Amino acid sequence: MPGCPALRPTPVEEHVNDHLKRQLRRLATERPYQVVAGSAAALLLASGTGVLLAGADDTPAPRQTTNAAVAEIAPRLDGVASRAQARVGATASPSASPSPSATTAAPNPDLTTKAAPKQTTAKAAAPKPPSSKSLDYDYQAQTTYFYCGPAAVRNALSATGVGSNQDGLASRLGTTEMGTNSAEDTTRVLNEMVKGDPYRTRMIPGGAATRAQIDRLQADVVTAVGAGRGVVVNIAGDATDVDGGWHSFPGGHYIAVVGYRNNGSTVRIADSANPAVPAYWISTTALAHWAATRGYSA
């Protein structure tokens, strides 16, 4: 059965088709949103062409149907074009606004604020002690040959204004005919009589004082006498004072230090053994060696 003859396009249709092809080729090289908009225009043009062709064939054109279809499609295409354009614009724009985190981040105080320097208060230096000082004291010689300990403590206490007597102190010290045991006892009783327990015992156990022990004795004398307190020293053996006087106590003895001079390198001794020589000056070095194997209360 012979087939149906093929319908050839009219010259008007060929013209319109060629025009549409050229438009689509040109739009294909443009930006995406223009292609979408062009496609919408092409659809409208094609619809209009259909209307024209229908008029040429004297067939009533379905204007209402065609116009309704175009009206339904156009807003969708327009929306697609608008979104595509917005995406292209957001990508291509060099002046995009920074992210909120970049604009609202708090500044680093370590970078923007210089730390305030710490306020330091200089500690006041302690006043320098005088180069020499002697205490006012009430001298008393020992009343018995073994009361050197009570007499030395009494002479030292008199410099602080504390009244006492040798018998009462002998009882406190545990003094017997053998004398007073050690500087530990004199320290204990001095602290019982003087407010604040200021006295400490320093022992010099070797046969001779070391340089450090000499310096320690000198510093202790300056501190105690500077505070108005006498120092009690337990000595043994022989020593010579600065005037050449010789003092010998091979069995041991107690004396009181009631002053110093030359920054403590020389000290004043109140000695209860001989009322004819109640006081003399001796070097601190000689006194430290004199107290070797014994000690002192300062």
Tell me if 180 sits within 8 A of 192, measured CB to CB: no
Interval 171-190 mean pLDDT: 98
Angstrom distance (rounded) from CA 18 to CA 21: 5
Q: In this prediction, what percent of the chain has a pLDDT beyond 70?
A: 59
Tell me if 140 sits within 8 A of 109, measured CB to CB: no
pLDDT computed for residue 123 by the predictor: 72
Tokens of 110: 């370590």
Instruction: Encode pLDDT of 17-57 as tens digits.
Output: 566 667 656 655 554 444 444 444 434 334 443 333 333 34
Instruction: Encode pLDDT of 121-143 as tens digits.
Output: 667 777 889 999 999 999 999 99
Q: Give, for 295, the enclosing helix (H) or strand (E).
A: strand 295-297
- In CATH, the number for domain 133-297 is 3.90.70.10
Angstrom distance (rounded) from CA 275 to CA 271: 8
Please give the single-letter amino acid code of residue 152. Answer: A
Reported pTM: 0.60
Angstrom distance (rounded) from CA 123 to CA 79: 81
